[in-house]
């Protein structure tokens, strides 16, 4: 089987190509073409291990194993590996780092939502959270047309500065409120147990993406969820954790729209310039599958990685 390191995965995973395969995956998901069982988890005293298998036609099967240990100090809070299996024989064919794929596919979903749900001519974007996901969002913003200003904010101002230094359009703000108040698009990338924004801080017609997951709480305020047009990867996001999002509990799943339903033109996206749209990401095994398949095929073409015998 082919072994791919973190550095090799980073080299192979192109943001523009990732968006393309992600759009295909969202359509297949809403078409009912995937077999993705509910995620499961094993609970340890300080964190969890989550299993995420998936099958999609014309792709190799995948399973991601990801650990979430929020209190980690010297290693990442989220760590992951992805294994691919030949869908015809079940043979394991690739083993790769999953941490970079997880961050990039998560950010890609958020940026894809902005592409289709933000108001036309949106120019200002805020990134709240300056960790791994904040940096992944900044990498993906290059695929979004028309962004002229990026504002960053974090619990640590120095981390917000470090993130902003990676893009000439970006500058760090002293507070979250200052960062989001004039933003056309707000990307929440935290692991907060409590809301990091308030509804009254936001500009009319804003688009918000939220990728944070920290049961039993979350980074999006309840009043904002209840008053906004909600978009998700899959309706399973309305289920109870660990399958679904804590912020969406007790809402009618039919009140939400899958991204794939927009791409397939089955349901509307933004309905007016004034409405607030919210993309609440739970993370879906389909995203890992399409990203890992993309990386694998490019590795084979470019002869990257090394073969190992089990």
Domain boundaries, the chain: 2-101+286-307, 118-283
Is the pLDDT assigned to residue 39 strictly greater than 90? no
Of 67, 134, 62, 148, the C-alpha closest to 104 is: 134
| CATH number for domain 2-101+286-307, candidates 3.30.1780.10, 3.50.50.60, 3.40.50.410, 3.40.390.10 | 3.30.1780.10
Q: Give whole-number Cα distances, 102 to 61, 226, 263, in Å.
A: 16, 28, 22
Superfamily of structural domain 118-283: NAD(P)-binding Rossmann-like Domain (3.40.50.720)
Please give the biggest Cα pair distance in the chain.
Answer: 57
Under the banding of pLDDT at 50, 70 and 90, the label for residue 248 is very high
What is the spatial distance between Cα 86 and Cα 45, in angstroms, rounded to a whole number? Answer: 35
Question: What is the pLDDT at residue 188?
Answer: 98
- For the stretch 257-279, pLDDT in tens is 999 999 999 999 999 999 999 99
What is the spatial distance between Cα 113 and Cα 295, in angstroms, rounded to a whole number? Answer: 22
Rounded to the nearest integer, the mean pLDDT of the chain is: 96
- For the stretch 54-84, pLDDT in tens is 999 999 999 999 999 989 999 999 999 999 9
């Amino acid at each position: 089987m082919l072994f791919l390191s973190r550095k090799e995965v980073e080299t192979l995973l192109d943001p523009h190509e990732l968006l393309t395969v992600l759009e295909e995956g969202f359509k297949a998901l809403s078409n009912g073409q995937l077999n993705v069982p509910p995620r499961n988890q094993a609970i340890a005293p300080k964190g969890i291990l989550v299993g995420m298998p998936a099958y999609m036609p014309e792709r190799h099967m995948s399973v991601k194993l990801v650990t979430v240990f929020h209190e980690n100090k010297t290693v990442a809070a989220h760590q992951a590996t992805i294994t691919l299996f030949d869908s015809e024989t079940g043979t394991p064919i690739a083993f790769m780092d999953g941490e970079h794929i997880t961050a990039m596919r998560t950010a890609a979903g958020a940026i894809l939502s902005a592409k289709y749900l933000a108001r036309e001519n949106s120019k200002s974007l805020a990134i709240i959270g300056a960790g791994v996901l904040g940096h992944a969002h900044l990498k993906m913003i290059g695929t979004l047309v028309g962004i002229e200003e990026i504002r960053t904010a974090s619990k640590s101002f120095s981390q917000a500065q470090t993130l902003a230094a990676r893009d000439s359009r970006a500058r760090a703000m002293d507070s979250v409120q200052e960062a989001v108040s004039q933003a056309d698009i707000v990307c929440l990338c935290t692991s907060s147990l409590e809301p990091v924004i308030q509804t009254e801080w936001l500009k009319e017609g804003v688009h918000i993406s939220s990728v944070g997951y920290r049961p039993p709480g979350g980074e999006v305020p309840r009043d904002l969820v209840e008053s906004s047009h909600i978009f998700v990867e899959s309706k399973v996001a309305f289920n109870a954790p660990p399958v679904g999002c804590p912020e969406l509990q007790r809402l009618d799943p039919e009140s939400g729209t899958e991204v794939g339903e927009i791409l397939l033109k089955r349901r509307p996206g933004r309905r007016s310039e004034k409405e607030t749209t919210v993309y609440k990401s739970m993370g879906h095994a389909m995203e890992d599958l399409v990203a890992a398949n993309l990386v694998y095929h490019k590795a084979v073409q470019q002869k990257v990685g090394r073969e190992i015998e089990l």
